[in-house]
Structures are given as C-alpha cells and as structure tokens.
Amino acid sequence: MAPQREAPPKEARQRGLKAIDEARQARGKRRFPPARFWGWTAVILAATGILHWKWSQGQLESARQKLMAEQRAVAVELGPKWTSLRGSVEGWALDLARDAGAEVVDREALKGWDFRDRPGLYLRLRVEEAKDVDTLRKGLKSSLRDAFTACLLRVSNPSPLAGPECKRTRDCAVGQTCNELDRCTVPAQPYNLRVAYRTMNVLSDDWVRDAQDAGTELRLRLLSAMFQDTVRDDLPVAIDLLTRAQYLIVVLDEPVAGVTARDGGTATQAIQAAKHLARVGVWRLSDGKNVVRIRREAGGQLLGGTPSAVDDDVLDARQRQANSCALALAVREAIGDGSAAAAPP
C-alpha cells in the first residue's frame, strides 16, 4: 500500500487589503536615511563652513588693510618728528642714568632763556628704570607731574583733580584733555611724557604687531575704535604741546638702601618718601644744549605738626611732596634764584 503524502500547509489568509496590511507591518519599524544621504550632508556642511570662513577672513583682512593704511598715513606725517624727539629724550635720560657727571649750570644761557615760565616736557623715573630703552619706556608709564614741577616752575596750572572723571578726551569739554589721573583738565605745563608716549603708541611697532595679529573681528574693531579716538581727540593736543615745548626736564631718583615698598605701594613711592639723592637734567630742545645737570638731596621737613588721625599712606604722600619740593628749591638755588634760599625745605 502506497504511503500517504502530507498535504501542503495552508497559507495564512490575509485579512483586508494588502496595502493596509503592509502599512500596518511597517508602522513599528524605524527607517534611517541611507549612508549616501549622510555623506552628502557632511560634504555640504563642510563646504558651507569653508566658504563662510573664507568670507569672514576676507572681510577681516579687508578691515585690517584699511586700518593699516590709515595708520601708515599718520605715521608718514608724524613718525619722523616723533621718532627724532623720542630719540633725543631717551638718549639724554639714559646718559644721565649712566653717570651723574660733572655739575652743569649754564648761567649765561639761563639769563636770556629762563625755562621756568615756558612750555616744556617732564619725565621722572628711578635710576634703575633707565638702564636701557625698553626699561625706560616701561618705567615712564608711572611718571607723574608732582610737587617738584610745582615748586620749580612759574606757570599757573589748574588742579589735576579738579575736573570730572574721564576715560578718554572725547568725554571732556572742548579745550580739555583726559589727563594721566583720568580727569578732564586744560593741558598743564610741563607736558608729562607719559601721556605723550601713550598717545603716540599708535605709531609704534608694538601697535602695528597687535593690529597684524588680531585674529577676530571684535579685536580688530576695538583697535580701530581706539585708533580713531586717538587720531581725532588726543593726537592734535599732543602734537601742539610737543611742538610748543622748549625744554625737557628729567628727574632720576637714586635708590636708598633698606627702603622697600609698602603693601599696595610701589618702589618709586617708597624712595620718594625717603630722604634720597636725585639727578636733575634740563635740556633746551631747540639745539639740545644741556643747561642744567646737578645732583642734590631730596629731603624736606613737614611743618605744622601731624594729626594723629592721619594714616601712613597719607603721611607718605605728604612726605613725598615735601621731598620733591625741597629738591626743586635746591635746583632753584643752584641756578641762581635768590628766593629759593629763603624758602624752608
């Protein structure tokens, strides 16, 4: 008897339309774009990023070239004059720092040319800050007009603290400048070289390097704004004062053994508050003649007693002023001012 063959299994009967069934089965499945899609997406994003970067760099370089062209125009006009004056000033200061030298008081020159009532330039540093050009330029950032110029010269200047606070000359009224104490005031005499160097910084190699190295639009925009402010507000004043100046006064304070800066103070303040020796030089700018070169003691005495409520910082400030004024009186006596001998140091 032949074996019975098994009947083939029956296919599951499909219910409803086939399209609906397929949609029902695909509903719970996740579908991802093919790898080709992601590849093209990455290529497009990369190309967009590169094009944007190139466009940004082009805009940055265009702004940089415009700023550098403006700077070169100013440098061509003012650079030679400022470089010549700066070279003379730094050379004389470095020479005085190297050696106090023989005393010089050219009375014949001073008879017909009393610098004390004329416009001029002023620089005060410690001897150690005038070892070379780099240390001198760094040190002069702390150079301030003080009681020395007030007691030596015969010019009437407004109080440097009387005006409103400022950050730049544009904040001040017409005819005023933002001085080294960040106050609006009429330019005082003698002109502090600290302010001149700060203003003329836009002509320096350091400023050019900063502009060339600026890697962001924000940094370049900041440099451009500072340049425009300087050219518009500060340069005209500086040029006028530098052009009218007839003399340069340099005061170099010598170190004092055992004197150190207080907490929060500086070495300059500590030395000027102590009795010390200082070198003073005066040069006539028209011909570079050294009319005064002396070394005197800066040591004044405070008169009228000292209130017990005054703290040490205030006492030091008063002593610095007294010492600076005493030094000025010694200079006046050396150049033949008879009234200086009668004034108490």
Give the model confidence (pLDDT) of 193-243 as tens digits. 998 998 999 999 999 999 988 888 888 899 999 899 889 888 988 999 999
C-alpha count within 13 angstroms, C-beta hemisphere, residue 210: 16
CA 262 to chain centre: 24
Instruction: Name residue, tokens 């299994």.
Output: 9
pLDDT value at residue 28: 56
Contacts of residue 340, defined as CB under 8 A and 6 or more positions apart, other chains included, come to 329, 330, 332, 333
11: pLDDT strictly greater than 60: no
147: left (phi over 0), alpha (psi -120 to 50) or beta: alpha
Residue 116 and residue 154 in contact, taking contact as beta carbons nearer than 8 Å: yes
**120-159: pLDDT as tens digits:** 999 999 999 999 999 999 998 888 778 899 999 998 888 8
CA distances from 36 to 32, 39, 45, 113 (A): 11, 5, 14, 89
Q: What is the domain partition of the chain in residue ranges?
A: 59-155+190-342, 158-189
Residue 271 and residue 255 in contact, taking contact as beta carbons nearer than 8 Å: yes
- How far apart (Å, rounded) are the C-alpha atoms in residues 316 and 312? 6
Other Cβ atoms less than 10 A from the Cβ of 341: the count is: 10
**41-94: pLDDT as tens digits:** 787 878 777 776 666 666 778 888 999 999 999 999 999 999 999 999 999 999
Question: Which stretches within 155-245 are classed as H helix?
Answer: 193-199, 205-213, 217-229, 235-244
Instruction: Name residue, tokens 């005495």.
Output: 301
Strand, coil or helix: what is 289?
Answer: strand
Q: Which residue has the higher pLDDT, 4 or 95?
A: 95
E-strand ranges in the chain read 104-105, 121-126, 177-178, 184-185, 191-192, 247-253, 276-284, 289-298
